[in-house]
Structure 1
């Protein structure tokens, strides 16, 4: 349940490990945050475009695929404020 004093900002959690991602999501939700989760960087980029309320990205660094977590972080930084 979200506290009245907690911000309603969304946090994006990107991780290819289900257990790590689930734990992070559960912990953040218990703290009162709205959380969007994504499996991998491609899904993370899509989630950023689909969820304009995301204000923080928490990502794993080593993930399979063309992009890793550092690539995702650099993309977020380059496009900060232009996802909407």
Structure 2
């Protein structure tokens, strides 16, 4: 039996976050949610481990999703990072190593498939 892939979803728009959490959970992923980068950092500092971070770029507060992605990747290199935005054009240079950008609007089926592909590749890479 394989364990569930654990994903932290960071999105400040409550309805979008709730829908994302529900859809990804229905796809068999274990999902934890945060409304902003500071909340996400506190969750990471609690010691819970994640295979993937899925974060929006534009959020209220002093840390945006790109900064969060870099901080998390620096602290926990094996994690896969997916960044999304409907307002900013994110380039490969903006992302942490092996980070992936998905523009809004996105298909949650596509996001779920991407999470599974990235984490499967990561398991092979770190095995």
Give runs of ≥4 in structure 1 deviating > 6 Å. none
CA distance in 2, matches of 1:26, 1:51: 23
Number of aligned residues:
77
Question: Are 2:50 and 1:54 aligned?
Answer: yes
Greater length-normalized contact order (CA 8 Å, ≥ 6 residues apart):
1
Matching residue of 1:69: 65
- Shift of residue 80 of structure 1? 1.1
Counterpart in the other structure of 2:29: 33
Determine if contact 1:14/1:21 at 8 Å carries over to the other structure. Answer: yes
TM-score by length of 2: 0.56
Which residues of structure 2 form unaligned runs of 5+?
Answer: 78-127
The 2-side partners of 1:16 and 1:75 are apart by: 18
Give the drift of 1:52.
Answer: 2.4
SS at match of 1:59: strand
TM-score (norm 1): 0.83
After superposition, the CA RMSD in angstroms is 1.5
